[in-house]
Chains A and B, each alone.
Chain A
Amino acid sequence: MLTMQGIHKIYRTEQIETHALSDFDLEVEAGQFLAVMGPSGSGKSTFLNVAGLLDGFDRGSYHLDGADVSRLSDREMSRIRNEKIGFIFQGFNLIPDLDVFDNVDVPLRYRGMKARARREAIEEALQIVGLKSRRKHYPSQLSGGQQQRVAIARALVGSPQLIFADEPTGNLDSAMAAEILDLLEKINALGATVVMVTHDAELARRASRQIYLLDGRLIDMQGDAPAPLFGESRVRASAAGATD
């Protein structure tokens, strides 16, 4: 589904160059539920942005669903984002001027669907996240958890094959977080590949696979190995670097 090889992502500012991703390799198979973990600033969001075609990369190759991303035009990328990818942002990113219904409607609008089909899809997505009664509310009138659920509804309304979620539970209490995770599992069970960034080891364990990022490098934790201590991961990171 998603293959990255030797990806480098460098942020250049006037003073320093930040290697947000360096020599990053990853393969995600269809139907996987992948949890991405790592300390703050390790490059998780950067990885998600590159993977979700929101941002470019400097070196390496990236194939998404068989297509070579570096060869795609802006228009083709827009289309893939629209049809194959659902994105759940770290900060919800609902459009404040639009109510719940119109917010969920946004990706469908760029797809040229008939009004009726759109409405059905939106109702269904809202049903899944349990916000059907709030469709006339504006984001400012919703709680953090409700906003996040709207964002999820918006991500899944177009039945994407891939869902990227950047700390979808970051702003929520644990009960709410568990609920959101239930939702994502439900979507995963319906066949979508889910890539989720989280700080919560508890939640990460519910994923079918976990990876760790450290200073822009990947430490893969296959299977049900216990979450490593911080020091261990650093050791492994240097070990991985040495073997490369």
Chain B
Amino acid sequence: MELGPIFRALLRNRSRFWLITLEIALTLAVSVNCFVILQRERDRLLRPSGLDEANQIVVATEPWSEEFADDAFLDLQREEDLRRLRALPGVRAVTAMNQIPISRAGSGTGRKAEGADQSESVFVGYFYVADDALETLGVELREGRGFEPGDFPTREEEDAGDVVRNVLLTADVADRLYPEGALGKVIQNDGGEVSNVVVGVIEQMHNSWPTSTAADRAMLLPGRPGHRTLMRYLIRTEPGQVDPVFSRVEEELLAANTERVVTVQTMTEVKNRTYRVSRAMITVLVGVMILLGIVTGLGIIGLTAFSVTERTRQIGTRRALGAGRFDILRYFLLENWMVTGFGLVLGLGLTFGLNYLLVQAADAPKVGGELVVLVMAGLWLLGQLAALAPALRATRIAPVAATRTI
């Protein structure tokens, strides 16, 4: 190959060489760093929640009527709401909950193994649920059982205090508290005042804070969720039935009692709001990377086109001396290949430098080798593609161009 002469000729045209090199280096640095941030956000977004998100609807009813201050009334209303929602066509299961998973607003507390020291307590996000909770959430049970009617304490028992509720834990919590198996074991709050018995372990489920490191630590408690000012329901529809069910929920609940504000959201909406920043970052970063690709691509096209025009006579001479069209094409692609390659090598340093800066200033993730190689390959391809158009134009320069003075 003619790498030697191409390289030596390149060194004679330093400004062009350095411009493309610099551009490629910067592009590599910026795009690799965009990519790591993008990857992190995407990973966050794609973390499984354990729920059947696509088919769930979240309902908040916020009563203003004083009637709801009465516990008996509240219980009756809940029963009626559940009955009405369950009767809607397309509904698979409904439960009442005090908080909604993934919503970023929730309740958290500590739980430890029975008799363990307070320092061994683990943070859990907890949910009081009515019957049908597992079916509605769509989570899978790893061991044990779901709640049965007997698990729900009566109002009298609750009021009397000291109820030992049976609970469900996610595997993440269960394995932390009792690595040898939590089923049937007693767990306690930090101070030891509250005890629960574990009757089932859920494979995996997000609590209310899916972006936190403790996202998989959740606990379900049987109860009568809701109070005077707020009652929430979670609906799971048959696959694809979210829209028709959604449109009927408010009307159905208001028919039961108009003295309240009813807010209906799909779980997808809830999730989108929670992951707003991640989604926004992904959109923006993809946008920046596309713009960057376009700008860099155009830059390479421009500089290569300029160098083709400048070398018209030289190309003619080469053709006159026997170079075929393909030789000319190869010349420019090889030249681009070398400049890009040099830029990429130089860009490596810049990439890690920028990454260091971003890690310090913006808590960005660290750049890994695999990604760098991938982006380098992509940019190398971009360079070749960008050089292609002017290089093809160069092949159309006729040998007589050698004899034209200007």
Contact = CB atoms under 8 A, between A and B. Distances in A.
Does chain A touch chain B in the assembled complex, meaning CB atoms less than 8 Å apart? Answer: yes
Interface stretch (B8-16, B129-137, B198-206, B255-263): B8-16
B290 interface: no
A105 B400 contact: no
A154 B320 contact: no
Nearest to B321: A107
Contacts of B119: none
Given A87-B321, A97-B8, A106-B318, 13 more contacts: A49-B400, A53-B399, A54-B319, A55-B400, A78-B324, A81-B399, A82-B321, A85-B322, A93-B317, A98-B9, A105-B5, A110-B327, A158-B322
A110 B321 contact: yes
Given A89-B403, A91-B405, A81 B322 contact: yes
Interface in A107-133: 107, 109-111
Interface in B278-329: 313-314, 316-325, 327
Nearest to A115: B4
Contacts of A96: 12, 314
B403 A79 contact: no
B337 to A, nearest CB: 17
B264 interface: no
Contacts of A107: 321-322
Given A90-B403, A91-B405, A54 B8 contact: no
Contacts of B5: 98, 102, 105-106, 109
Contacts of B319: 54, 78, 81
Identify which of B318, B323, B327, B399 gathers the most chain A CB atoms within 10 Å of its CB: B399
6 contacts: A53-B399, A87-B320, A93-B403, A97-B12, A102-B9, A138-B12
Contacts of A90: 403
A207 to B, nearest CB: 22
B321 A106 contact: yes
B393 to A, nearest CB: 16
Contacts of B398: 54-55
Contact of A109 (B2, B9, B12): B2
Interface residues of A, number: 35
Interface string B125-165: 00000000000000000000000000000000000000000
Interface string B364-378: 000000000000000
A142 B122 CA distance: 83
Interface string B9-29: 100110000000000000000
A95 interface: yes
A45 interface: yes
B318 to A, nearest CB: 6
A107 B322 CA distance: 6
A97 B323 CA distance: 17
A21 to B, nearest CB: 14
Contacts of A93: 313, 317, 320, 402-403
A55 B9 CA distance: 27
A110 B399 contact: no
A74 interface: yes
B400 A54 contact: yes
Interface string B355-399: 000000000000000000000000000000000000000000011
B402 A79 contact: no
Interface of A: 45, 49, 52-55, 74-75, 78-79, 81-83, 85, 87, 89-91, 93, 95-99, 102, 105-107, 109-111, 138, 154, 158, 166
Contacts of B323: 78, 82, 106, 110
B83 to A, nearest CB: 84
B54 to A, nearest CB: 59
Contact of A166 (B13, B313, B403): B403
A179 B27 CA distance: 55
Contacts of B9: 95, 97-98, 102
Contacts of B403: 45, 49, 54, 89-91, 93, 166
A9 B402 CA distance: 18
Contact of A54 (B2, B314, B402): B402
Nearest to A160: B322
Interface string B83-108: 00000000000000000000000000
Contacts of B402: 54, 87, 89, 93
Nearest to B405: A91
5 A-B pairs closest in CB distance:
A82-B322, A97-B9, A54-B399, A78-B324, A107-B321
Contacts of B2: 109
Given A83-B322, A97-B9, A97-B12, A55 B399 contact: yes
Nearest to A53: B399
Contacts of B400: 49, 54-55
A91 B403 CA distance: 8
A89 B403 CA distance: 7
Contacts of B313: 93
A99 B8 contact: yes
B399 to A, nearest CB: 4
Contacts of B8: 97-99, 102
Identify which of A74, A75, A138, A166 gathers the most chain B CB atoms within 10 Å of its CB: A74
Contacts of A54: 316, 319-320, 398-400, 402-403
A166 B9 CA distance: 27
